[in-house]
């Protein structure tokens, strides 16, 4: 798998996320029934274990071989997840990259970046109000190198799988989210300090109504 090209700070060790939970009182059927897109959030902090559970639902490991929660064409895993943390318990405000193999967060930048992301998303208020934002990015070359132009479709399919996982996990955690695709790609890439091969696909603010 290709290495990430984004320039990250190595001055910190990855922040380990709390232990995962593999059972809940919410059935798959109930999660499907209750799934909704929510764009307004109240001012309430997000628990760190809930954030970790959502990241795992999107791209977490499911076995020692490295398979993940969302299926991937050729098991090439082109997606990269970032978290914009503004009001997460036990996590300083900042920008973080999710490391699936360690179920941990690597700090990229300090400070509350939600306002900047909101401006890059055409001032959508849900970005500034949510305690955290998940950003789904893709490195297309990981898939197109094997499948050619058809790989572009596979990447987009995978992003859909991952985002639906987040929706369903959010229901079981009594959280709310929405997939946002309306944003300025260049400005989002700049505010995330993405490498030249990484392309933002989805913004998913997370919170409670």
* Range of weakest confidence among 22-31, 108-117, 182-191, 193-202: 108-117
| Phi (first) and psi of residue 204, to 5 degrees | -130, 90
Neighbours of 14 (CB within 10 A): 15
Within a domain: 20: no
Instruction: Place 165 in a pLDDT band, splitting at 50, 70 and 90.
Output: very high
Structural domain count of the chain: 1
CATH number at residue 72: 3.40.109.10
Within a domain: 7: no
Place of tokens 């997000």: 46
pLDDT above 70 (res 162): yes
Instruction: Place 61 in a pLDDT band, splitting at 50, 70 and 90.
Output: very high
Instruction: Place 8 in a pLDDT band, splitting at 50, 70 and 90.
Output: very low
Within a domain: 9: no
Within a domain: 58: yes
Proportion of the chain above pLDDT 90, given as a percent:
78
pTM above 0.85, yes or no: yes
Instruction: Place 60 in a pLDDT band, splitting at 50, 70 and 90.
Output: very high
pLDDT tens per residue, range 93-115: 999 999 999 999 999 999 887 87
Within a domain: 73: yes
Within a domain: 52: yes
The angle subtended at Cα 119 by Cα 115 and Cα 125, nearest 5°, is 70
Within a domain: 11: no
pLDDT tens per residue, range 10-58: 446 899 999 999 999 999 999 999 999 999 998 899 999 999 999 999 9
Helix (H) or strand (E) holding 128: helix 125-129
Within a domain: 137: yes
- Find the domain containing 134 and state its range: 25-207
DSSP 58-89: HH-B-STT--BSS--GGG---EEEEEEESSBT
């Amino acid at each position: 798998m290709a290495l990430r090209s984004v320039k990250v700070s190595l001055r910190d060790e990855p922040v380990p996320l709390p232990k995962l939970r593999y059972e809940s009182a919410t059935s798959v059927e109930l999660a499907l029934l209750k799934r909704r897109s929510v764009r307004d959030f109240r001012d309430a902090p997000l628990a760190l274990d809930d954030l970790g559970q959502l990241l795992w639902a999107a791209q977490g490991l499911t076995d020692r071989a490295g398979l993940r929660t969302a299926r991937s064409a050729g098991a090439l895993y082109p997606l990269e997840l970032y978290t914009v943390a503004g009001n997460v318990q036990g996590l300083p405000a900042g920008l973080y990259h999710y490391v699936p193999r360690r179920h941990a967060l690597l700090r990229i930048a300090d400070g509350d970046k939600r306002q900047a992301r909101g401006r890059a998303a055409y001032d959508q208020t849900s970005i500034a109000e949510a305690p955290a934002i998940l950003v789904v990015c893709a490195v297309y070359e990981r898939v197109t190198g094997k499948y050619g132009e058809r790989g572009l479709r596979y990447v987009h399919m995978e992003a859909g799988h991952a985002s639906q996982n987040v929706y369903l996990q959010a229901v079981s955690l009594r959280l709310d989210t929405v997939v946002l695709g309306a944003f300025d790609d260049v400005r989002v890439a700049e505010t995330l300090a993405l490498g030249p091969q990484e392309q933002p696909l989805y913004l998913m603010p997370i919170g409670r109504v």
